[in-house]
Amino acid sequence: MASAFTRTAALAAAALLAGAGLTACGANDETGDGNGDDAKVIALLLPESETTRYESYDRPLFETKVKALCPDCTINYYNADKDTSKQAQQMDTAITQGASVIVLDPVDGKAIGGAVTDAQANGAKVIAYDRFIAEADYYTSFDNATVGKFQAQALVDAMGDKGKIIMLNGDPKDPNAAQFKEGAHSVIDASGLEVIAEFDNPDWSAENAQKFTNDQINKFGAENIQGVYAANDQQAGGAIAALTGAGVKADALPPVTGQDAETAALQRIIAGEQTMTIYKPYAPEAEGAAELAVALVNGETPSDTTDFEGVPSYILDPVVLTKDNIASTIVEDGLVTVAEICTAEYADDCAAAGLQ
């Protein structure tokens, strides 16, 4: 029987798809370049490949859905590898290759604005995917302020509303990072927690997070880092590596938050090293964006949008993952298997958590 979460995700996807007003039409051709004025070309531009989600989930889910809906649609795919200039060039290439719809997850939401307006001047519709772009025609994402609130509340609850913390925020160029940070501060600033140091990580990396945490350990002492707000799982891993490297035992680590539901983070949660992560069900987002893109490439006008900063939008709800609901959420949704989580190193932890 499907879990409440699965039913909720399915309903969210259905609402998004219905809002796009799209009729499914079969299976798609192979990904490739546009070939003629009448070709229906959709470009998908993702920001990087270091984070697991983009290549493992977003891209295949999006491409599969487009192929299932539109037999005469072509998908051209580009990855910017965290390079803002490269992504702007890819936008130009997408237009040259005939894209009439561009689904764009920006490296830098503000810097890409000019390329977006250029694409629109060439007749393309631009969907801001996951990260907001003020100039976009449409926007689809999760409620990012709520992500930050959920993370912060989990930290407050785990710490009993008292203690000293460090904050590892995301890349200032990433518009989502500002929303996570704002949401987190709205909870933390009203709590009994004291922020002793804060860092806006320019590339979200574990390495930067580990270095920053080491610096704070040297400055304040590991015992005075009683909680870690980490905006994503890679930073959570970096902070935990710094703390264990400073001699903090695994079973004495402070509460640490995360986001992206990476397999390594799920293992840390099962082992009691990380408190939680945020799971943003990728299927409703990626498949909904595919529905929207196909609707636009077919000349349809989507409906039932909400307004986000002046852009017609579809906003989905994030899910808090803890040891208690990994099996009933991300595992049941098929994005990771118990075998992938419960490797030999984590077999005993999985057994204790009932994840077998």
Res. 219: pLDDT tops 50: yes
- Report the b/e string of 69-79 with b at 16+ CB within 10 A: bbeebbbbbbb
Average pLDDT over residues 22-29: 34
- Our CA angle for 287, 44, 173, nearest 5°, is 105
Dump pLDDT digits (tens) for 296-353.
Answer: 999 999 989 999 999 999 999 999 999 999 999 999 998 899 999 999 999 999 999 9
Provide the pLDDT for residue 275: 98
Antiparallel, parallel or unpaired: β 319-321 and 277-279: antiparallel
Q: What percent of the chain has pLDDT over 90?
A: 83
- What domains lie within the chain, and their CATH numbers? 4-136+282-316 (3.40.50.2300), 144-279+323-353 (3.40.50.2300)
- The model's pLDDT over 267-297, given as tens digits with 9 standing for 90+, comes to 999 999 999 999 999 999 999 999 999 999 9
Local confidence band at 202 (pLDDT 50, 70, 90 cut-offs): very high
What is the C-alpha to C-alpha distance for residues 311 and 305, in angstroms, rounded to an integer?
Answer: 9
Q: What's the pLDDT at 37?
A: 57
pLDDT, tens digit (0-9, with 9 covering 90-100), for 129-151: 999 999 999 999 999 999 999 99
> Residue 161: its pLDDT value, please?
97
The pLDDT assigned to 53 comes to 86
Tell me the pLDDT of the chain averaged across its residues: 90
The amino acid at residue 100 is S
CA distance 96 to 119: 10
pLDDT tens for each residue of 158-192: 999 999 999 999 999 888 999 999 999 999 999 99
* Out of 5-19, 27-41, 208-222, 285-299, least confident range: 5-19
